[in-house]
Amino acid sequence: MKILFVDDEHDVEALFRQKFRKEIKSGVLELAFAFSGKGALELLAAENPPKFVYVFSDINMPGMSGLDLLNQIKARFPEIQVSMISAYGDHENYDRAMNSGAKGFFTKPVDFERLKLEIASLADKN
């Protein structure tokens, strides 16, 4: 299962690879990373249809916000599930994300056990 993580902070790649090392090593998960909304859309559009089944995106990024990215993904790739992450667990961002079709909403620091459960539920469906 191919998952795309989108965050403008480059150090998240090492963190996510470490937290999912067993799943990566066993071949259950393939992780990709983009450091902007534009970069994420380019990765998604590189394959037709995209092989990604899940996108996990930060909300607060320079340029295109994660909420803008969510809207574009839902318009262009409606079969891809998207969850959002924010350092701020405010209701406005939560409501906007969920009303735009987000599967989930996480606050930093990420609860990796909850994220693994969400990913496992997607794996069961695929």
What is the DSSP code (8-state) at residue 110?
Answer: P
Q: Which fold has domain 2-125?
A: Rossmann fold (3.40.50)
DSSP string, 19-57: HTHHHHHTTS-EEEEESSHHHHHHHHHTSSS--EEEEEE
Mean pLDDT estimate for the chain: 93
Cβ partners under 8 Å of residue 126, min gap 6: 1, 53
Domain ranges (residues) in the chain: 2-125
Per the DSSP assignment, residues forming a β-bridge with 86 are 107
Instruction: Check pLDDT > 70 for residue 126.
Output: no
What is the pTM for the complete model shown? 0.93
What pLDDT digit, counting tens, does each position of 36-69 carry?
999 999 999 998 888 999 999 999 999 999 999 9
